[in-house]
Every structure is written in structure tokens, then in C-alpha cells.
């Protein structure tokens, strides 16, 4: 039955996209009924607006769509479970994300899909930045996504790779509430992260508060990270060939453990999966500490199905899927983060803004339960709550822009 429903969803989705030729369109905010309307919206009146912005480019936030518009940029190299499908095939996903931005946060978002990644990719994004108040990088494979995001931090508008930071924010929020439910101390957790790609890297640094203000962020001290070759440790051959895995090796696994994912999960309190379906076994769950917490976030199928994890003794299980309790999806984070950033015409998204978003998201659930760590994705009140925390953190961290 579930298989038949999946086929129906795919067929229905294809029909929907054909019927509407996509999911978003442009609407005019002003009238265009007569010559006066034309003179105000276009020539000659618009010349005065141009002169004002030429005098002070920050006035683009006051007079144009820039104040509430972001670009969703992708090269289609890491789309869902589909892999490297290119810019054309990535358009439906970017349109869907634009739809979420509009419906949940009131943000106008435009898909900007490049057919391939090259050395001029960053410059191309910089050259379109004048139109937008922010850039959401999406579905760009690691390690390109790390390098690209780093290179764009000084362009004067927020640039955030959602696969990394949106996921990390939601994972932190879910883990904070899982600790409230299980009575585990956040600082005492032994955490295994299965997957060392974009999401895994950001989760690790969020949990360890690398670069974050320690006054607003508790720190997990004991983290072990696994990739396809097993546990990442400082002495592992070939580690120096990947800058980001070298950083992981330097910042985690202080006891120098080696071995496989199964070895890593022995005695762990938490396992966060951002890897591939079916990689976690029931025996691995049984080897963990009492009341283990499993976040199996692989798409389209988790690293272990909730039923199997519970049968093996898991106390709390979260996945990325809506049909199971505890959906841990970055769509809970990115609308509110960008809403808050745009509200203060932010220069960038600081670490403090991300941590504030995570704590606001966790606090939104007043009484978390084993089957309800986070709010529902389509709850619009979540966006306003997260946005408020982000705005305040932007001001406090010096990222808010002053416009005369």
C-alpha cells in the first residue's frame, strides 16, 4: 500500500507541475492602468529613485525588492537522493523551496540554477548580489559548498548553505529537547555523527560551538565522526588530502578511537545519521548507552527505520520524513533565519544568529515528548518566533545594517 501511494505521489506531482508549468510566478505590487501609473512606476519617475540609490546604494533596501528578496542558488550537484543531476533538473526543487519561503515567511525567492560549477561560480553570484537581500545556497556537493560559502561571506548580504546550517540548527534544537525528555546532560553526551559531508560538518561544529559565543551555547565534548571508511581520527592515512575531514579529525575524537561505525556506536548516547539508508543495524543500537537517541536523517530512507530502532531499545528516534514522529527537517529553520536576517537588512548570518535560531526552535515546544521534539514544519508561528530570535542576535552580534 505504501509503495502504491509513493507511485501515486510521483505521478500526481508530475501532473501538478505540468498543469501549472512550475509553482511560482511574479505579481505586480503597484497599479499599471494609465499613463500616470506608468510614469510613476517606470519612466520618467523612476529616474529619481535611481539617482537616490546611486547616491547611497543602501537605499536599494528602501526603494526596491532587495529588502525582501533572496536568490536560491544551486548547481544541482547534490539534489535530495538524486545526486548530481545538474541545473535544469534542480529547478523543481529550487521552485519548491521558493514556495516555502513565500508561504511560510513572506519572502520572495528566485531560483538561480547554474548548469555546472566552475572557477567563476563565486564571481557569478557576487555579480547578481545587488538585486538580492540574501543568498541561499542549495544542493551543492561537498567540499565545493564549503569553499563557495566561505568565499562569499564578505559580499555584504547573508549567504548561507542551508544543507549545512539549516540542518545543524534543527538537529541542535531536537537534541536539546531530547535531553529534556531523557534527562541527559547535553555536555555529557557521547555523540556519533554518521556522515562527514556538508550537513555532518556543520552539525559537528554546531554541537562543539566552534566559533560560537560560549555564553549562549552549551558544548558537546565527546564526538566521534564516521564516513565510508570508518571512524575519522588524526592518524588515518589520506586524511590530509581533504581539508574538511582534516578539520574534523583535529576537532573530534580526542581519545583517538579507530574502527567502524559499529565500534563508534558502542557506549554512545546519541547517533546522528546524515549518510545513506540502512547503514545502522539493531545490534549497533543495542550497543549504545541506556536510553539512546537516534536521529536517522538520510533521504529518502533513514539509516534505520524507527520501528527497528525502537525494537532494539532506542528511547527517541527522529527522521527526515513526515510520516514518522519527530521530523527533523531544515525547513523548520531556513524560513525564520532568512526572515530575521532580512528584517534587519543583515550583512551576514553570524554564528550567534544560528544558535539563537536553534534555541528558539527548541523553546517553542513547551513540553517536549519522546514523539514530539519539534513543532510542525507548516506552523507559521514558528517562523516568527525564530525570526525574532535571529533579529535580536543579529543586532547583538553587529550584523544588522543601519539604513538612513
Is residue 115 within 8 A of residue 171, CB to CB? The reply is no
Cell of 203: 552539525
- Provide the b/e sequence for 97-112 (b: ≥16 CB within 10 Å): bbebbeebbebbbbbb
CA distance 8 to 2: 10
Low-confidence ranges of the chain (pLDDT < 70): 1-7, 210-218, 404
Q: For position 299, what pLDDT does the model report? A: 83
> In angstroms, what CA-CA distances link 95 with 98, 111, 138, 156, 341?
5, 6, 12, 25, 21
Q: Among the options 42, 57, 240, 243, which is catalytic? A: 42
The model's pLDDT over 117-139, given as tens digits with 9 standing for 90+, comes to 887 899 999 999 999 999 999 99
> In angstroms, what CA-CA distances link 127 with 63, 123, 360?
20, 6, 34
Backbone angles phi, psi at 154, to 5 degrees: -100, 15
* Inter-axis angle of helices 243-251 and 198-207, nearest 10: 30
The CB density around residue 27, as the number of other CB atoms within 10 Å, is 6
Cell of 396: 547583538
305 sits in the region (left: phi over 0; alpha: psi -120 to 50; else beta) called beta
Q: For position 166, what pLDDT does the model report? A: 96
The model's pLDDT over 190-201, given as tens digits with 9 standing for 90+, comes to 999 999 999 999
Domain ranges of the chain: 15-157, 162-404
Is residue 142 within 8 A of residue 244, CB to CB? The reply is yes
CATH top class, domain 162-404: alpha beta
Prior bond of 300 cis (ω within 30°): yes
Quick check: is 97 catalytic? yes
Q: Which residue in 71, 73, 68, 60 sits closest to 29, CA to CA?
A: 68
Is residue 359 within 8 A of residue 386, CB to CB? The reply is no
CA distance 6 to 353: 37
> In angstroms, what CA-CA distances link 390 with 127, 352, 354?
27, 8, 7
CA distance 330 to 100: 11
Is residue 165 within 8 A of residue 136, CB to CB? The reply is no
CA distance 303 to 195: 11
Q: Among the options 66, 97, 245, 354, which is catalytic? A: 97
Q: What is the DSSP string of 35-65?
A: HHHHHHHSTTTHHHHHHHHHH-GGGHHHHSG
CATH T-level assignment (fold) for domain 15-157: Rossmann fold (3.40.50)
Three-state SS at 190 = strand
CA distance 216 to 214: 5
Name the CA radius of gyration of the chain, rounded: 22
Amino acid at each position: 500500500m505504501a509503495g502504491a501511494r509513493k507511485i501515486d505521489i510521483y505521478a500526481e506531482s508530475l501532473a501538478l507541475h505540468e498543469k501549472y508549468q512550475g509553482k511560482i510566478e511574479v505579481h505586480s505590487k503597484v497599479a499599471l492602468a494609465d499613463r500616470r501609473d506608468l510614469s510613476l512606476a517606470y519612466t520618467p519617475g523612476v529616474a529619481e529613485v535611481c539617482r537616490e540609490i546611486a547616491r547611497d546604494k543602501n537605499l536599494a533596501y528602501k526603494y526596491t525588492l532587495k529588502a525582501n528578496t533572496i536568490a536560491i542558488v544551486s548547481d544541482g550537484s547534490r539534489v535530495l537522493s538524486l545526486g548530481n543531476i545538474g541545473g535544469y533538473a534542480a529547478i523543481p526543487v529550487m521552485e519548491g523551496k521558493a514556495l516555502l519561503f513565500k508561504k511560510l515567511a513572506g519572502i520572495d525567492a528566485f531560483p538561480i540554477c547554474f548548469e555546472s560549477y566552475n572557477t567563476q561560480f563565486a564571481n557569478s553570484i557576487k555579480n547578481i548580489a545587488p538585486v538580492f537581500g540574501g543568498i541561499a545556497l542549495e544542493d551543492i556537493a561537498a567540499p565545493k559548498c564549503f569553499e563557495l560559502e566561505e568565499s562569499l561571506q564578505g559580499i555584504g548580504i547573508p549567504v548561507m548553505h542551508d544543507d549545512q546550517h539549516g540542518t545543524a540548527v534543527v538537529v541542535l534544537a531536537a537534541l536539546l529537547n531530547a535531553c529534556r525528555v531523557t534527562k541527559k546532560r547535553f555536555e555529557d553526551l557521547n555523540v556519533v555523527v554518521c556522515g562527514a559531508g556538508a550537513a555532518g560538518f556543520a552539525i559537528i561544529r554546531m554541537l562543539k560551538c566552534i566559533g560560537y559565543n560560549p555564553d549562549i551555547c552549551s558544548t558537546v565534548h565527546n564526538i566521534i565522526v564516521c564516513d565510508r571508511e570508518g571512524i575519522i581520527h588524526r592518524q588515518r592515512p589520506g586524511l590530509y588530502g581533504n581539508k574538511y575531514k582534516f578539520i574534523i579529525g583535529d576537532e573530534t575524537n580526542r581519545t583517538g578511537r579507530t574502527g567502524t561505525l559499529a565500534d563508534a556506536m558502542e557506549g554512545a548516547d546519541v547517533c546522528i545519521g546524515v549518510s545513506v539508508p540502512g547503514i545502522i543495524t539493531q545490534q549497533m543500537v543495542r550497543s549504545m548507552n541506556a536510553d539512546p537517541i537516534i536521529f536517522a536523517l538520510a533521504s529518502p530512507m533513514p539509516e534505520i527505520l524507527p520501528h527497528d530502532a525502537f525494537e532494539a531499545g532506542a528511547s527517541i528516534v527522529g527522521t527526515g520524513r513526515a510520516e514518522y514522529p519527530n521530523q527533523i527537517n531544515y525547513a523548520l529553520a531556513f524560513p525564520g533565519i532568512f526572515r530575521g536576517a532580512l528584517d534587519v537588512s543583515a550583512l551576514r548570518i553570524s554564528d550567534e544568529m544560528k544558535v539563537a535560531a536553534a534555541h528558539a526552535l527548541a523553546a517553542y515546544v513547551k513540553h517536549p515528548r519522546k514523539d514530539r521534539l519539534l513543532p510542525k514544519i507548516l506552523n507559521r508561528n514558528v517562523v516568527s518566533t525564530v525570526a525574532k530570535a535571529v533579529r535580536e542576535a543579529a543586532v547583538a552580534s553587529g550584523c544588522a545594517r543601519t539604513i538612513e
